[in-house]
Structure 1
Amino acid sequence: MPSSGPEDHVIKSEITRSGPDYVLVKLTPTAVDILKEYGPGAIAGSFPDHRPPPGIRFGIGDTVAVSIFEAAAGGLFIPAEAGVRPGNFVALPNQNVDLNGNITVPYAGQVKANGRTPVDIQRDIVKAIGNRAIEPQVVVSLITQNTSLISVLGEVKTPARLTANAAGERILDLIARAGGLAGPGWESWVTLERGGKRATVPFGALMYQPANNVWIHPGDTIYVYREPQVFLAFGAFTIGGNFGGQAQFPFDMWKITMAQAMAKAGGLIDAQAEPAGVYVYRREPRELVERLGVDCSKFTGPLVPVVYNADFRDPSGFFLASKFEMRDKDVLFAANAATVDTTKFLTFVQAVVGTANSTIVAANNAQILRINSRQ
């Protein structure tokens, strides 16, 4: 008989004819709790160091200012007639860290600046001129940042390379400095790249799961893009007012549950659906599937095809469905009840018999017309 998908008993047998092998996992309170631990938390898991970023260090091309103080006049930088000038310090002209990573200080020569903090540079300058100047003190400050930058790109209002803040900032702080999102938050995704490593989460995961809103380091790249999350519904759902069919539905929020997804698809068809045969198809990380108590020895690779089964003949099934979170591109399928095939078969037999009866009646009528025409 024609059907919109596999029969319920075929799915539960875990037998596949041509596609990849899969595992069937029945939704239970334990399974749902384990799945919640593997929600959209990729950034927190990929960048587990939650300490604030290290202090800003100078790099090649940065503009640096150096001020040198002496305790009294008549020293190396303050002349004996210092009374005619204000202050007991001299401000050197601003200079860039050169290609060798150095700056130049009179009487101290070349001082290494690349990759170092202001305190490191100050200490070296004081050490170099300490035996010539009168109790020297040095202040080194960053005038223009050209290396400690953070790139914020994509679907933000003002994409730019932003200077790192010495106080430290998190992902949402940088997105705010770039003008905020250019589109709705529920269809926005954020990728953080650092040192060749990257992780992506929905924007909502930054707002509602603070662990994902990690500290940003100089040199990081934040990329924001828009991709509406969707799920696909097949089988015995009342889709678009029709009895059965298939459609793609947007989440229209940063996450939805299985119960919400079923409602979006119009709910189960009372006269067609098998309430114990509602399934969600997706691929899961191997370690998650093993935690669910499944033997994954027959599978290769990091992802395992999984079919989750919810039983809505059990009243508690709706509580589980309201906690089971859908993922982007999930396939939601409602199998037909076993009696549907019987109904289809009887309808087919009725159509065949009806066609045969119509043919016989038409033949009899034709025979009668021939007899009448001879008379």
Structure 2
Amino acid sequence: MAARFKLLTVFAAILALTACSLPRGAALQSEILKERKTENPTFQVVAVTRENIPGILAWSAHSGYGTYHWPKTSNGATSSTIRTGDKLDVTIWDSQDNSLLTNPGQRFTKIENLEVDSNGSIYLPYVNKVGVRGMTTAGARAKIQSRFEPIVPSAQVQLSLRQGRDHSVDVVGGVAQPGAYPMPSRNYKILNVISDAGGIPGAMRNPQVRLIRGSSTYEISADKLLEDGSRNALLQPRDTVVVEADERAFTALGASGQESLIYFPKDNVTALEAMSLMGGLSDFRADPKGVLVLREYAPEHLSHSGAGPDLQQVVFTFDLTSADGLFAAKKFPIHPDDTVLATESPVNAVQTVFALVGSAFGLTARAAALGN
């Protein structure tokens, strides 16, 4: 009996130590949130419910998440305007014999590759410089012909335009055929140039369209751009268009189907959708009352009036065992760089301890039998 009692005492001590440090794949919710009970916690804990979800959505709106900075759409003229760097071909017809402009036996003369200079002018014989920048080809043709009338009254002018670099749009990535695309008219829009560049590959993850104009950058997802014609922005010369896969992501951790960096497959992902993207909660490990979203807000978004969080670091908690928690999770937006944590169920630790106790007593019984 003494040997048995001693053996049981040893096993009891081992079990006590084991219960305190059982191997787990994730922390318990109580372990993570215990600091909130201290006098000066460093993070804020918010239990997400249907009642407070409107206020939390306002926090997201104030932080700028989910909003797009995109130029307003307008319509331009259907004709191109002449810009510095464009090249003009001028053909002058004159039916008179001994014309100043044509060689004997010819009815026309052609002057090619007249580049519009930095002053917006081209040089023509007999009339010197003619300012054409900002004009349409029809307007420039009429102006040139009017300048020739005092010299050659019967002259007729034809004009063709080859647009230079200053009258093109660069598409630098995310399309089948990147390159510089001349603007065929002032009514050239962003969907036009994307189409001319071969379109966006269908396999690209939630493609994002970025428009760089001078020192300003605008961005919108391709889905948002396509769903509303009012977002089909008018392009300007020297615009740059970039199409890229959506690089926004959140981190999935804990007792879920996968622990990894998960990219956004669409513009907005809710907490409930995040659970699905993570492969769901582990049936035997996860605590459905302990799903946490860890987020950090910028200092300028803090507010003690309810318009924003009180502290920069916030832990949002979800109880997915209730309809209230499920509906709230369905509306709660996940932000880029959030951490979504499925905590470990405390029941698992108890079950493991009981299993170890049972094993210990079984081992003890076998040891006692061998001793006898």
TM category (shorter chain) comes to: 0.5 to 0.7
| Match runs of 1:3-42 below 5 Å | 3-9=24-30, 22-25=43-46, 26=48, 28-31=52-55, 33-34=57-58, 35=60, 38=64, 40-42=66-68
Q: For residue 302 of structure 1, what is the aligned residue in structure 2?
A: none
Distance 2:229 2:35 in 1: 39
Gap change, CA 1:169 and 1:59, over 3 Å in 2: closer
CA displacement at 1:186 relative to structure 2: 3.4
Q: For residue 257 of structure 1, what is the aligned residue in structure 2?
A: 270
Distance 1:73 1:195 in 2: 51
Q: Does the aligned pair in 2 maintain the 1:235–1:333 contact within 8 Å?
A: yes
Task: Report the residue type matching 2:73 in the other structure.
Answer: H
Q: For residue 351 of structure 1, what is the aligned residue in structure 2?
A: 356
User: SS at 1:193's partner residue?
Assistant: strand
Q: Deviations over 1:332-368 (max 9, x none)?
A: 222345x43xx525744763785488469648845x5
| Match runs of 1:1-375 below 5 Å | 1=21, 2-9=23-30, 22-25=43-46, 26=48, 28-31=52-55, 33-34=57-58, 35=60, 38=64, 40-42=66-68, 45=69, 47-52=70-75, 56-66=80-90, 92-97=110-115, 99-101=117-119, 102-114=121-133, 118=137, 121=140, 125=144, 128=147, 134=153, 140-208=159-227, 210=229, 212-226=231-245, 230-237=249-256, 239=257, 246-249=259-262, 252=265, 255-269=268-282, 273-283=286-296, 293-295=307-309, 305-328=313-336, 330-337=338-345, 339-340=346-347, 344=349, 347-348=352-353, 351=356, 355=360, 358=363, 362=367, 365=370
CA displacement at 1:174 relative to structure 2: 1.4
User: SS at 2:191's partner residue?
Assistant: helix
Q: Does the aligned pair in 1 maintain the 2:211–2:217 contact within 8 Å?
A: yes
CA displacement at 1:103 relative to structure 2: 1.0
Q: Does the aligned pair in 2 maintain the 1:65–1:95 contact within 8 Å?
A: yes
Q: Deviations over 1:299-325 (max 9, x none)?
A: 5xxxxx554433434413333333334
| Sequence identity (%) | 23
Q: Does the aligned pair in 1 maintain the 2:81–2:186 contact within 8 Å?
A: no
Structure 1 residue runs of 5 or longer lacking an equivalent are 240-244, 300-304, 369-375
CA displacement at 1:141 relative to structure 2: 4.4
User: SS at 1:153's partner residue?
Assistant: strand
Distance 1:105 1:144 in 2: 19
Taking CA–CA contacts closer than 8 Å with sequence separation of 6 or more, which of the two structures ends up with the larger relative contact order?
2
Gap change, CA 1:205 and 1:36, over 3 Å in 2: farther
Q: Does the aligned pair in 1 maintain the 2:213–2:240 contact within 8 Å?
A: yes
User: SS at 1:281's partner residue?
Assistant: strand
Distance 2:299 2:110 in 1: 61
User: SS at 1:94's partner residue?
Assistant: strand
Gap change, CA 1:162 and 1:286, over 3 Å in 2: farther
Gap change, CA 1:110 and 1:160, over 3 Å in 2: same
Q: Does the aligned pair in 2 maintain the 1:281–1:308 contact within 8 Å?
A: yes
CA displacement at 1:223 relative to structure 2: 1.7
Distance 2:349 2:214 in 1: 60
CA displacement at 1:11 relative to structure 2: 5.1
CA displacement at 1:172 relative to structure 2: 2.4
CA displacement at 1:220 relative to structure 2: 1.2
User: SS at 1:157's partner residue?
Assistant: coil
Query: RMSD over aligned Cα, in angstroms?
Result: 4.6
User: SS at 1:111's partner residue?
Assistant: strand
Distance 1:310 1:67 in 2: 76
User: SS at 1:224's partner residue?
Assistant: strand
Distance 1:53 1:325 in 2: 38
Q: Does the aligned pair in 2 maintain the 1:58–1:147 contact within 8 Å?
A: no
CA displacement at 1:106 relative to structure 2: 2.9
Q: Does the aligned pair in 2 maintain the 1:310–1:317 contact within 8 Å?
A: yes
CA displacement at 1:215 relative to structure 2: 2.2
Q: TM-score, normalising length from structure 1? A: 0.67
Q: Does the aligned pair in 2 maintain the 1:60–1:96 contact within 8 Å?
A: no
Aligned residues, how many? 339
